[in-house]
Amino acid sequence: MMALFTKRGLTFQSASRCCGMIGSCKSLSFSNNEFPNQDGEAVSFSHGVNQEYLGKSEGVRQEVDKVCQILESGSWGPSLENALSMCDEKHHSELIIGVLRRLKDVDQALNYFRWVEKKTDQAHVPEAYNMLLMVIARSKRFVQVELILEEMGLAGYGPSNSTCIQLVSSYVKTQKLKEGFDFIQTMRKLKFRPAFSAYTTLIGALSAVNEADLMQALFLQMQELGYEVSVHLFTTLVRVFAREGQVDTALSLLDEMKRSSFDADIVLYNVCINCFGKVGKVDMAWKFFHEMKTNGFVPDEVTYTSMIDVLCKGHRLDEAVDLFEQMEQNRAVPCAYAYSTMIMGYGSAGKFDEAYKLLERQRLKGSIPSVISYNCLLTCLGKKGKIDDALRIFEEMKKDAAPNLTTYNILIDMLCRAGKFMAALEIRDAMKSSGLFPNVLTVNIMIDRLCKAQKLDEACSIFEEMDHKLCMPNAMTFCSLIDGLGRHGRVDDAYRLYEQMLDSDRIPDAVVYTSLIKNFFRSGRKEDGHKIYKEMVSRGVAPDLFLLNTYMDCVFKAGETEKGRALFQEIEAQGFTPDVRSYSILLHGLIKAGFARETYEIFYAMKERGCILDTLAYNTVIDGFCKSGKVNKAYQLLEEMKVSGLEPTVVTYGSVIDGLAKIDRLDEAYMLFEEAKSKGVELNVVIYSSLVDGFGKVGRIDEAYLIMEELMQKGISPNVYTWNCLLDALVRAEEIDEALVCFNSMKSLNCSPNSITYSILINGLCRVQKFNKAFVFWQEMQKQGLKPNLITYTTMISGLAKAGNIVEADRLFERFKTNGGVPDSACYNTMIEGLSMSNRAMEAYQLFEETRLRGCNIYTKTCIVLLDSLHKAECLEQAAIVGAVLRETAKAQHASRSL
């Protein structure tokens, strides 16, 4: 640290210099009414004014004026330093302190402070340092604070209590609470003693933002320093820890308070009842309520209201009613707030008749129900969907209380949720007629609900109608509309609104950027999604973990596996700890990309890092292993999941059952199926379909039928995939008549066949040479507007050709190619044979050449049939070419057999 002083021009050259400096410090440590005499003793001049001192004080004031005029004449630089040097004033401690007290510009104060050090080659006195810190506190520029504290520490003195309190207050006013905490820690590191009020001020500010851990650290420091903590301070800490759900810590603080012989007051009891109750500890709240009565405290309105509220929210309405009755018996004047709380309790429980009676009872007791009571009741009616009742109560309330903005917002929200937007607009107009104007919350409610109802034009209209003089859109307004537009595909409109947000000098937060990125990717515009992320970074907006997770999910779904990996690393680079969702996205993305082995390693690395695995994480990995054929590992994870106390869901069972069925381990799949049913898991059509498909593919048709029958008995409707699995099984077994019966059943149960359904039947009919029936299904398929796939075309072309309907087969073949289809070898060979047998030798030959040109194989049988047709048509030149190809094919086959 001595290097620091040297750099600042504060080289301590001798012990005498230090002693002189400390002596000068002492000379300034007296109160405003005292002055040191020659012996260093304090002489009071409060009753007899010392003329010599007054004259000296006036002289110092003139010197301060002179120096300040120079400092305020321009920016710091050589000319200003020269002006200070030419000034004939000696820069003594009183002058330095006076100048610093007058300066408002912290940079000018620091420059002057350092210039004096160099000029006088002496260290500053404590009061000068304290005054410099006060300038920093006033300007709220805290960058230099730690450096100044370190210099003071080396000089052997620290900031005064008033300076410490002023600095902490400045940190609090600028909401730099973490920096304020660090300031206190720096003082402790330098062995300074922060002021009592500095601690209490900062603890109070931290309690407002629920920074429980920082508060506790400061509280412990106060105890270490010997400060006497009060019940109020204990109450502040208990409130925050209880509110945050850290019940054990809150209780340990209460125990410590008792050990320290502090007596709890009614405020502490009320805080405990309220906070412990709100985190679900109803019995504990009851305990504090009874304890306070035992200790001689009479519950006040806050006590009763808090306890009634806790009981109502804990679904213990009967106890709440009993307590409310007790309160009423002991009170001459009704407590309006307790009535509102009890009305809210009845409403939340759906007991509206009791709530109405309580309103009437309040009136009879001479207490007019307030707007709060009515708002509570309207809120509950809205949540229960009782809109007509709510509108009736709204009319009744006007007799007792004038509706306020909250009232109208509750009604507008209720009507918008029910899709009654015209009625909501009427309420908004009624609000204006009553002299109230919609606030930003009103607008946000309407825009959010309209967007969710896909009424985007109406939402945009409300946004554009906003009177910016009376109601300015806030970040939530923009965010709701940007997200609504983006989610419904209007990403360009969403981006224009984002630009409008920037033009209005509002800085979009991570929520807005998350919405834009997600919706651009969802619309297939991944490059624009990447640009949005880069733009966010360039604007200095810090991403949160939710944004990074969403971006990574979008990137993986877009097939950019390496970019997805990089984003997972970015999460840690940004200082976040990947959560379960981060890992689940990474695992799902890698599994989809075929990196099953790697995902297994990541999964266990995740466990080793202490990440608490949830059902989603297990399901992701289990599904991935099943799809990549690693069913044994998936089965192991299913068992591990059960051991760890997590109940497998329908997704878990579905993945493993499907995986086992696909590798013909059907008995194990069926056992797991029965296990899921025995555990009460609601099985879905996907699981039943997996078993139907599995049993059908191995020819176990009866079992496939039984599964199908059970499915329908459960009241679950088979989907098109289920029917296709059964039809495919019947076609494989050449039970085509049974397949046709199933097809009719499928249609009678209102399950529309798709192109795969028709393809299965056409293929089955062609296999049993029912070509004409297959062609009927082909035509029906066309009428339904279904597009045939390659297999359907190939099957139908082959069937028509084999049936001798070569004209229709040729027409279908040409249509297939015109529609962009690429025939395979089987399709080409079938057509060549069909044309050859229909005495269309040259057309067959042209197709033969096309087949060779496309690199498709030509079968030996096809060459023989074509060769015979060409000879009959006396196309000898073409026959010679086909013969040569036939010989080459024969040689190749012979060589292959020899090898």
Residue range 560-617, pLDDT digits in tens: 989 998 999 888 888 888 888 888 888 888 877 877 667 777 777 777 777 777 788 8
The least confident of 319-333, 543-557, 882-896 is 882-896
Nearest-angstrom CA–CA distance, 659 and 110:
73
Q: How far is CA 397 from CA 12, 387, 435, 581, in A?
A: 79, 15, 17, 48
Contact (Cβ atoms closer than 8 angstroms) between residue 147 and residue 113: no
pLDDT tens-digit series, residues 188-233: 888 888 999 888 899 888 888 888 888 888 988 888 888 888 888 8
Contact (Cβ atoms closer than 8 angstroms) between residue 571 and residue 545: yes
Q: How far is CA 546 from CA 556, 583, 610, in A?
A: 15, 13, 20
Nearest-angstrom CA–CA distance, 873 and 889:
23
Q: How far is CA 512 from CA 488, 551, 765, in A?
A: 15, 13, 56
Q: What is the amino acid identity at position 620? A: T
Nearest-angstrom CA–CA distance, 297 and 101:
51
Max CA separation in the chain (angstroms)? 145
**Both structure tokens of 686:** 């996907």
What's phi and psi for 761, nearest 5 deg? -70, -40
| Helix and strand counts by DSSP (H, E) for the chain | 50, 2
User: Residue 267 region, left (φ>0) first, then alpha (ψ -120 to 50), else beta?
Assistant: alpha
**Both structure tokens of 840:** 């269309």
pLDDT tens-digit series, residues 704-741: 989 999 988 888 889 999 999 999 999 888 888 898 99
890 has pLDDT over 70: yes
For the chain, percent of residues with pLDDT exceeding 90: 8
Residues contacting residue 69 through CB under 8 Å, at least 6 positions apart: none
pLDDT tens-digit series, residues 108-155: 888 888 888 787 777 788 888 888 888 888 877 777 788 888 888 887
Nearest-angstrom CA–CA distance, 477 and 521:
23
Nearest-angstrom CA–CA distance, 456 and 647:
41
Of 672, 685, 695, 694, whose CA–CA distance to 722 is shortest? 685
pLDDT of residue 155: 79
pLDDT of residue 898: 55
Residues contacting residue 495 through CB under 8 Å, at least 6 positions apart: 516, 528
- 3-class secondary-structure state, position 236: helix
CA 535 to chain centre: 20
Residues contacting residue 471 through CB under 8 Å, at least 6 positions apart: 437, 438, 439, 440, 442, 443
Nearest-angstrom CA–CA distance, 16 and 35:
24
Give kind and range of the element (H or E) at residue 372.
helix 371-383
18 has pLDDT over 70: no
- 3-class secondary-structure state, position 617: helix
pLDDT tens-digit series, residues 490-507: 889 889 988 888 888 778
Contact (Cβ atoms closer than 8 angstroms) between residue 890 and residue 864: no
Q: What SS3 string covers 806-839?
A: HHHHHHHHHHHHHCCCCCCHHHHHHHHHHHHHCC
552 has pLDDT over 90: yes
pLDDT of residue 542: 86
What is the average pLDDT across 166-176? 88
Nearest-angstrom CA–CA distance, 854 and 53:
112
Residue 402: CB atoms within 10 A of its CB come to 11
pLDDT tens-digit series, residues 619-643: 887 887 787 777 888 888 888 888 8
Banded pLDDT at 35 (limits 50, 70, 90) = very low
- Return the residue matching tokens 């002083």: 5
Which of 737-746, 793-802, 814-823 has maximum average pLDDT? Answer: 737-746
858 has pLDDT over 70: yes
531 has pLDDT over 90: yes
Q: Decide: residue 74, CB within 10 A, 0-12 exposed, 13-18 middle, 19+ buried.
A: exposed
For the chain, percent of residues with pLDDT exceeding 70: 91
What is the average pLDDT across 231-254? 82
52 has pLDDT over 70: no
pLDDT of residue 517: 92
612-626 burial, b for 16+ CB within 10 Å, e for fewer? ebeeebbbbbbbbbb
Contact (Cβ atoms closer than 8 angstroms) between residue 411 and residue 427: yes
pLDDT tens-digit series, residues 451-475: 888 888 888 888 887 766 667 777 7
pLDDT tens-digit series, residues 417-427: 888 888 888 88
Q: What SS3 string covers 13-59?
A: CCHHHHHHHHHHHHCCCCCCCEEECCCCCEEECCCCCCHHHHHHHHH
Residue 238: CB atoms within 10 A of its CB come to 23
302 has pLDDT over 70: yes
**Both structure tokens of 463:** 């946004």
Contact (Cβ atoms closer than 8 angstroms) between residue 186 and residue 149: yes
Contact (Cβ atoms closer than 8 angstroms) between residue 585 and residue 549: yes
What is the average pLDDT across 521-537? 91
Banded pLDDT at 21 (limits 50, 70, 90) = very low
182 has pLDDT over 60: yes
Nearest-angstrom CA–CA distance, 704 and 688:
9
Give kind and range of the element (H or E) at residue 281.
none
Nearest-angstrom CA–CA distance, 631 and 659:
6
Of 695, 749, 755, whose CA–CA distance to 725 is shortest? 695
User: Is the four-CA dihedral 128, 129, 130, 132 of positive or negative sign?
Assistant: positive
Q: What is the amino acid identity at position 441? A: L
Nearest-angstrom CA–CA distance, 95 and 864:
118
Q: How far is CA 155 from CA 2, 137, 438, in A?
A: 10, 21, 61
- Return the residue matching tokens 């109940």: 647
Q: What angle do CA 745, 749, 752 make, to 5 degrees?
A: 90
- β-strand 42-44 against 34-36: which pairing, if any? antiparallel
Of 115, 113, 153, whose CA–CA distance to 131 is shortest? 113
Of 195, 183, 175, 281, whose CA–CA distance to 238 is shortest? 281
- 3-class secondary-structure state, position 637: helix
**Both structure tokens of 601:** 């390693």
Average pLDDT, the chain: 81
Residue spans of alpha helices (H) in 209-335: 212-224, 231-243, 247-259, 266-278, 282-294, 301-313, 317-329
User: Is the four-CA dihedral 394, 397, 399, 403 of positive or negative sign?
Assistant: negative
Residues 700, 701, 704, 705, Cα dihedral to 10°: -150
421-446 burial, b for 16+ CB within 10 Å, e for fewer? bebbbebbeebeeeebebbebbbbbb
What is the average pLDDT across 532-537? 90
pLDDT of residue 4: 35
